[in-house]
């Protein structure tokens, strides 16, 4: 389904307002990037790419935009499937964060190019599209960029949003802003949604009803690397520490709660081990300092491959390695859920057969949290105190943990299949 040529524009007044806002915001965005670069130097690197200046090139690639680390990891199986089906086509991945770019660059694909997405201004977007001339544009999950969408379709490039999701909060914001954002929603010729609820929200936001379909969530289709799983289990069997739990993707205002939970656990189990993966690299040093101030023996993945016998907290301060430690854990707490972030990926620990704990804020993963909770493999806690109690109870009840692991395996089996459906949609447009 292609958008008719007469629709390939936006109302003049909203378009001028949007362009004017970019002119006003661009200096502030540059200052923000430079400020972020004080903690993450990666933000300073490749700055020209955000203005459409690129040193790498490829002709007519399959282009996928994955904003940050989580989206890159989730999109990797789709890229692998597309590469297997279309081995002669180059791949282009655009990101917006250094962590996402680093993870994309580490993917094991030949003829794969990774760059930053340009700012959403006409001249930067047109330079990007002229330089790479993508064969197809795949936008992963939630990114809506009006100028990018318009210029992509004007060049006759098929545009798809894959693994699309939209929260009620986002829908309210889009409908409130209206204008050019609502018009942008009508630009994709396919929107492959995670759920029927997401599909309904996209239609309400302005998407063409004929373009919207439900394929499911690709994140259910993760297949763990058997060699990495076997290595992790070998390491775990060698550790004297018992029990072992994992705090995944924690945010700054969750760190005190994670430390408190582990200190309470150590009071009952002096040999307990916490594997801790803060969400953002700029928090790595602060987390290590906080642990040291509590007098706990801490080690870091960047300087020590695995915990030693003395380690009570092991900080995973490297990017893209969280899954390597999941087979080592008895229980996982998924962060971004005690702090009002909206939660992070709960499907990955479910695939690895882990009982899952989350806090009350899970809007970004509402459907998967509901499915796992209904199946009996996930416990949602209203606050940190309840989370601490549930963690202690689970770690002392192996039978319950095994039951939850089985429940999660069953839920994963019921929900997988989105990868094949999405790949088929993309491949039809590449034929």
Could you give the residue numbers annotated as active site? 71
Residue 212, beta-bridge partner list: 191
Whole-angstrom Cα distance, residue 371 to residue 275?
26
Edge-to-edge strand ranges of the sheet holding 331-334: 298-300, 313-315, 273-278, 244-250, 331-334, 356-358, 378-380
Pairing of strands 136-140, 356-358: unpaired
Contacts 24+ apart (CB under 8 A), 261-269: 261/333, 261/384, 261/387, 261/388, 261/391, 262/296, 262/312, 262/313, 263/294, 263/296, 264/388, 264/392, 265/391, 265/392, 265/395, 266/296, 266/312, 268/392, 269/242, 269/243, 269/395
Query: Is 170 within 8 Å of 142 (Cβ atoms)?
Result: yes
* Residue 289 in tokens: 């300092």
Whole-angstrom Cα distance, residue 257 to residue 292?
16
Give the closest residue to 324 by CA, choosing from 411, 235, 249: 235
Query: For tokens 């209203």, what's the residue?
Result: 382
> Going along 165-309, which residue ranges are E strands?
190-193, 212-214, 244-250, 273-278, 298-300
Whole-angstrom Cα distance, residue 172 to residue 155?
31
For residue 273, CA distances in Å to 240, 267, 384, 422 come to: 10, 12, 19, 40
> C-alpha angle with apex 322: 317 to 325, nearest 5 degrees?
105
> C-alpha angle with apex 319: 245 to 289, nearest 5 degrees?
65
Query: Is 302 within 8 Å of 317 (Cβ atoms)?
Result: yes
- For residue 62, whether the previous peptide bond is cis, meaning omega lies within 30 degrees of 0, is no
> C-alpha angle with apex 222: 218 to 228, nearest 5 degrees?
160
Whole-angstrom Cα distance, residue 278 to residue 384?
17
**DSSP-based three-state secondary structure for 399:** helix
């Amino acid at each position: 389904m292609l958008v008719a040529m007469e629709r390939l524009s936006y109302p003049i007044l909203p378009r001028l307002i949007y362009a004017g806002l970019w002119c006003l915001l661009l200096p502030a965005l540059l200052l923000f990037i430079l400020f972020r670069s004080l903690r993450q130097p990666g933000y300073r690197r490749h700055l020209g790419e955000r203005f459409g200046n690129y040193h790498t090139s490829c002709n007519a690639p399959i282009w996928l935009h994955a904003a940050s680390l989580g989206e890159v990891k989730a999109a990797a199986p789709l890229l692998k499937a597309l590469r297997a089906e279309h081995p002669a086509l180059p791949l282009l991945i655009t990101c917006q964060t250094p962590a996402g770019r680093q993870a994309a660059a580490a993917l094991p694909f030949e003829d794969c190019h990774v760059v930053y997405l340009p700012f959403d201004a006409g001249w930067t977007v047109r330079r990007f599209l002229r330089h790479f001339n993508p064969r197809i544009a795949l936008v992963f999950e939630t990114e809506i960029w009006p100028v990018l969408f318009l210029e992509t379709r004007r060049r006759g490039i098929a545009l798809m949003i894959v693994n699309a999701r939209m929260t009620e909060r986002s829908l309210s914001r889009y409908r409130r802003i209206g204008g050019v954002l609502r018009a942008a929603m009508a630009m994709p010729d396919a929107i492959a949604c995670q759920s029927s609820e997401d599909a309904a929200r996209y239609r309400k936001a302005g998407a063409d009803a004929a373009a919207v379909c439900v394929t499911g969530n690709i994140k259910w289709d993760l297949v763990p690397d058997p060699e990495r799983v076997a290595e992790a289990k070998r390491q775990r069997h060698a550790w004297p520490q018992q029990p072992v739990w994992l705090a995944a993707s924690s945010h700054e205002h969750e760190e005190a709660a994670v430390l408190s939970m582990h200190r309470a656990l150590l009071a009952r189990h002096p040999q307990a081990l916490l594997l801790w993966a803060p969400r953002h690299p700029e928090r790595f040093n602060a987390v290590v300092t906080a642990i040291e101030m509590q007098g706990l023996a801490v080690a870091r993945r960047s300087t020590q491959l695995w915990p030693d016998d003395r380690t009570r907290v092991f900080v995973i301060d490297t990017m893209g390695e969280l899954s390597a430690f999941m087979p080592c854990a008895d229980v996982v707490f998924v962060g971004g859920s005690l702090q009002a972030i909206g939660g992070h990926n709960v499907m990955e620990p479910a695939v690895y057969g882990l009982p899952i704990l989350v806090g009350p804020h899970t809007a970004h993963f509402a459907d998967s949290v509901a499915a796992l909770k209904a199946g009996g493999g996930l416990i949602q806690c209203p606050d940190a105190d309840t989370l601490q109690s549930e963690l202690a109870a689970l770690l002392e009840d192996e039978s319950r943990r095994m039951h939850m692991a089985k429940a999660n395996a069953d839920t994963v089996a019921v929900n997988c299949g989105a990868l094949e459906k999405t790949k088929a949609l993309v491949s039809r447009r590449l034929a």
